[in-house]
Amino acid sequence: MAQKRVTVFILSGFLGSGKTTLLTKTIDHFTEAGRKPAVIMNEIGEVNLDGQLVANEVPMSELLGGCICCSSRGDLATALHELVTGEQPDLIFIESTGIANPMEIIDEVTDASLIIPVELKAVITVVDAPQLLELNRTSRGKTYRLMKEQIRCANLLLLNKTDLLTGTALEEVNALVREWNPYASTHFTVFSHIDMRLVEMLEEEGYAPTHLTDGPASHDHESGNRASHEEHEHAHEHGSHHHHSHSHVMAYTHFFERAVDSNAFEEFVSKLPQEVYRAKGILSFSDTSSRFLFQYAYREMDFVKITPKGEVPDVAVFIGENFSRDAVRDALLKLESMSDNEAKY
Q: Is 305 in the site for ligand GTP (CB under 6 A)?
A: no
Judged by CB under 6 A, the chain residues 259 through 298 that form the site for ligand GTP are 278, 295, 297
Choose between 152 and 278: whose C-beta lies nearer to ligand GTP: 278
CB 69 to ligand GTP: min, Å: 14
Residue 150 interacts with ligand GTP (CB under 6 A)? no
Minimum distance of ligand GTP from residue 5's CB (angstroms): 27
Nearer to ligand GTP (CB atom), residue 226 or residue 254: 254
Residue 16 binding ligand GTP, by CB under 6 A: yes
Which of 60-68, 135-143, 156-164, 255-263 is the region at the interface with ligand GTP (rule: CB under 6 A)? 156-164
Q: Which is nearer to ligand GTP, 98 or 281 (CB)?
A: 98
Residue 304: CB minimum distance to ligand GTP, A: 8
Out of 7, 8, 9, 13, point to the residue binding ligand GTP (CB under 6 A): 13
Q: Which of 7, 12, 20, 48 binds ligand GTP (CB under 6 A)?
A: 20
Kindly list the distances between the CA atom of residue 112 and the CA atoms of 73, 159, 228, in Å, as whole numbers in the listed order. Answer: 10, 30, 24
How far, in Å, CA of 48 to CA of 109, rounded? Answer: 21
15 binds ligand GTP (CB under 6 A): yes
One-letter amino acid of 210: T
Among 33, 55, 115, 190, the residue binding ligand GTP under the rule CB under 6 A is 190
Q: Which is nearer to ligand GTP, 17 or 155 (CB)?
A: 17
Interactions with ligand GTP, residue window 43-102 (CB under 6 A): 50, 98
Quote the least distance from Cβ 162 to ligand GTP, whole Å.
7
Is the backbone of residue 95 left (phi > 0), alpha (psi -120 to 50) or beta? beta
CB atoms within 10 A of CB 331: 15
163 makes contact with ligand GTP (CB under 6 A): yes
In this structure, what is the dihedral angle of CA atoms 75, 16, 179, 236, given to the nearest 10 degrees? -20
The half-sphere exposure of 10 on its side-chain side, counting CA atoms within 13 A, is: 33
Distance CA 166, CA 171 (A): 9
Per-residue buried b or exposed e for 241-274, using 16+ beta carbons within 10 Å of the residue's own CB: eeebbbeebbbbbbebeebbbbebbeebbeebee
* Cβ-based neighbour number of residue 230 at 10 Å: 10
Residue of 191, 247, 257, 309 interacting with ligand GTP (CB under 6 A): 191
Q: How far apart are CA 119 and CA 109, in angstroms?
A: 8
Instruction: With contacts defined by CB under 6 A, name the span among 14-22, 109-117, 210-218, 284-292 that binds ligand GTP.
Output: 14-22
253 binding ligand GTP? (CB under 6 A): no
CB of 299 to ligand GTP, least distance (A): 11
Long-range contacts, stretch 45-51, CB < 8 angstroms, 24+ apart: 45/251, 45/253, 45/317, 45/319, 46/253, 46/317, 47/253, 47/312, 47/313, 47/315, 47/317, 49/280, 49/281, 49/282, 49/293, 49/315, 49/317, 50/20, 50/23, 50/95, 50/280
Provide the binding-site residues for ligand GTP, judged by CB under 6 A. 13, 15-21, 50, 98, 160-161, 163-164, 190-192, 278, 295, 297, 302
